[in-house]
Amino acid sequence: MTFHRMWAELLPIGRSPVSGGYHRFAWTGADTDCRAWFRQQAEERGLAYETDRNGNQWAWLGDPAAGDAVVTGSHLDSVPDGGAFDGPLGVVSAFAALDELRARGVRFARPLGIVNFGDEEGARFGLACVGSRLTAGALTAAQAHRLTDADGVTLPRAMEAAGHDPDALGPDPERLARIGAFVELHVEQGRALDLSGDRVGIASAIWPHGRWRFDFRGEANHAGTTRLDDRRDPMPPYAETVLAARREARLAGAVATFGKIAVEPNGVNAIPSLVRGWLDSRAADQESLDTVVAGIEKAARDHAAAHGVDLDIVRESFSPVVEFDHVLRDELARILGARTGVPVPVLGTGAGHDAGILSGRVPTAMLFVRNPTGVSHSPAEFAAEDDCLAGVAALADVLEGLART
């Protein structure tokens, strides 16, 4: 079984012997090994291999210059201590689906491409989807040149060190214009399919999401000698805000997380002068997200005022909702529904993807494969092999339905 063999080949690359998690950061040795694996898969299959100006890897069956290509794939890099499936499942499934279609004797009327987008997770340079953003023109070359890792190495120097020429970084509209449809298969990063009892689903949209920084400023003082009534302690209003985030998110069917916090002076016997917390919130639609964040902000202001604490709230980033192409989505639903005789579930997701970046430029769709625990970005991320193979079969059906003569 080709899926099994490919999976076994990738499995040891960049894996921590301690945690079992993956450390495949853009343009590091582990990433280079993954990229060499991709190239080898392309060449073994007699596909035309190329690396584009932004370091994304492509494997082609047929001539992409003919246009209206059907492209599938994902990414091979990981978050720190990431799981095995987020990204690689889409790339391995792409090659396995092609093998399946060749075994079926399918002839293609459209060029078929497999892609590995570079630096999807942003683990090294702090910005996600660098390869697809550059290609789509959503990140300029000048911005990319300024990206720097924790050791002070810039993205161009890191690319160069890994053997890729960074001089040509920039938008690639001709390449995108050749793509008629992009389908990314991905492990589900949630439990919707597990709860519905389905192996495979189709994405409807990527939820709008944003990050906000909350600065609660009080007054540092002695934890032993300062009467409670005399304190301007920013920690209690921060704590109330965390609880409010949970409450507001639950009411709206959204998610809200304070996952990062900085405290000054950060002493066990000192009342803090500053508590800085970062809120990440996501919801199915803009109105719900606005409601959640407004509710959290109001709670933060009320509790800060009650404690004599100053509060600044800054929105640090925001991504609007990404609605995947409805025509392509309906086509996938028709193809997969015809095969199984039962409707395939259509679900939204709170996670970002290269498919989301491309969707503004190219008709784009996503397939999700069941993840029984919903855990992702962790060594515990998992999909059963039977479900992975169901994903390969679904992807093969979709590619056949879209591209065959």
Q: Which residues bind Zn ion (CB under 5 A)?
A: 86-87
Nearer to Zn ion, 132 or 241 (CB): 132
Which CB, 170 or 350, lies closer to Zn ion? Answer: 350
- Nearer to Zn ion by C-beta: 87 or 190? 87
Q: Are 274 and 217 in contact (CB under 8 A)?
A: yes
Binding site members:
75, 86, 121, 186, 211, 269, 282, 377
Give dist(CA 363, CA 374) in Å, integer.
27
Q: Which two tokens stand for residue 331?
A: 């086509």
Minimum Å gap between C-beta 119 and Zn ion is 12
Strands 209-217 and 179-187: unpaired
Task: Determine the 3-state secondary structure of 332 from DSSP.
Answer: helix
Q: Which residue, 31 or 86, is less far from Zn ion as judged by CB?
A: 86
Rounded CA separation 146/163 (Å): 19
Q: Is the peptide bond before 265 cis (omega within 30 degrees of 0)?
A: yes
**Least CB distance to Zn ion at residue 351 (A):** 7
Which residues carry a binding-site annotation for Zn(2+)?
75, 86, 121, 186, 377
Q: How far is the CB of 371 from Zn ion (least distance, A)?
A: 12
Q: Where are the alpha helices (DSSP H) in 147-234?
A: 155-161, 173-177, 192-196
Q: Give DSSP secondary structure letters for 212-276.
A: EEEEEE---EETTTS-GGG---SHHHHHHHHHHHHHHHHHHT-EEEEEEEEEES--TTEE-SEEE
Residues making up the annotated binding site for allantoate are 211, 269, 282
- The residue among 70 and 128 lying less far from Zn ion, judged by its C-beta, is 128
Q: Which is nearer to Zn ion, 297 or 381 (CB)?
A: 381
Residue type, 81: D
Token representation of residue 270? 């000192």
At 367, the amino acid letter reads L
